Each structure stands twice: as structure tokens, then as C-alpha cells.
Chain A
Amino acid sequence: EAGVAQSPRYKIIEKRQSVAFWCNPISGHATLYWYQQILGQGPKLLIQFQNNGVVDDSQLPKDRFSAERLKGVDSTLKIQPAKLEDSAVYLCASSLMVNTEAFFGQGTRLTVV
């Protein structure tokens, strides 16, 4: 069974530029999460989808971050404009349903210079 796929693996951009990350969850998984992990810290939830609806985006900086999950499968996370403090690893995870085991993709390491 294929795991969670993310791309790109690495991205370097200048501040004020925009960037987008893509995630393809495990087939059949209804719940999709985007996390931000800063070095030395635990993953911080940015947004949670249940199928194509948003369940929780309370910690998403909505002035610069946006996310969508079209057709309840693939998802994209966008940052526009990026700030230096957005440098982090962006992790996508999926689970069959809420409150079940979640599996992570390899992550995208973003560096903002």
C-alpha cells in the first residue's frame, strides 16, 4: 500500500515570495492533516480536513496561509507572502477517519531567506 506522498522535498525561497506544497494521502483516508514542525519542537497542527471539509484551522495564519482539498483527496498548502519565521518542515498526514492512526509523508523542508 502506497504511503502519504508529498512534494517538493525541499524548497528555498526569498521572503515575500509565494510557495505551494502538495500532498496525496493514503487511498481511502478521509482525514488529512497539515502540520508545521520547527526544529526542536513537536508538530503544530495547521489545518485538518475531513473529506473536503475543514474541521479545524484555528492555528492557520489565514492572512498568509491557505489550504484546500479538492474532491476530498489531494491537498495543497500555500504560503503568500512568506516570512523568515515560516522556515520549517511542513508535514502532511492522513488517517482512515478521525481518532484513528495517522501516517505521515516525508515532509517538505522550507527555507525562507
Chain B
Amino acid sequence: QKEVEQNSGPLSVPEGAIASLNCTYSDRGSQSFFWYRQYSGKSPELIMFIYSNGDKEDGRFTAQLNKASQYVSLLIRDSQPSDSATYLCAVSADGLTFGKGTHLIIQP
């Protein structure tokens, strides 16, 4: 059984600070890693993907991958109230498996 683990939160972060979201996965054969943002009542929206070990930056978002530790993280710099949402980690090993999501709250 492929598993993706996330802390469900809520994670509360002050506006302007860095939000750090973490995810671990069980399948060492996993090849692709994704972060989705989901607002209440909406469908998941892809915000970052990473395929290789290391960091990948896109605007205020940085995804970090460590395959040896089976660990993926997402950093959100200069957090805004509009970043308040549930963040879903997804891992692909010929099939796309999601974690339960971390509920992030940005406090104004």
C-alpha cells in the first residue's frame, strides 16, 4: 500500500512569515512529486512539481525533495491571507497518491 503522510494541522502562520509544509512517502520507487492547493469547496489546484533531489523555486514557493529520506516539503515565503487553504502532497509511482492534506491558516 502506497502511503503519503502529512500533518493535518491546522498550521497557523503570521502574515509575512514563512510557512513550512512537510510530507513523507512510503514507496521508494516514486518518481514525481506534487503540491496542490485546495480552497474550501473547490478542486485541487497544482502549484508545484519536482522530479529531482534538491530545491525548486517558483515565485514565493519552494519545493524541496530528499529521496533518500523519502521527504518532500513546501515553503511559502511572505505568506499572505490568500494562502490560507489545505495543501495536498501527491506522489506518483505510475499512479498518483495523495496525502490527507495540511490545513494552513495565515493570520493577518
Contact = CB atoms under 8 A, between A and B. Distances in A.
B94 A98 contact: yes
A98 B98 CA distance: 15
Majority SS at the chain A contact face: strand
B45 A99 contact: no
B82 interface: no
B100 A55 contact: no
B74 interface: no
Interface size class, chain A? 20 to 34
Contacts of A103: 46
B43 A45 contact: no
Nearest to B90: A102
With a 10 A CB-CB cut-off, give which of B6, B97, B98 has the most chain A CB atoms. Answer: B98
Interface of A: 33, 35, 41-45, 48, 55-56, 89, 91, 93, 95, 98-107
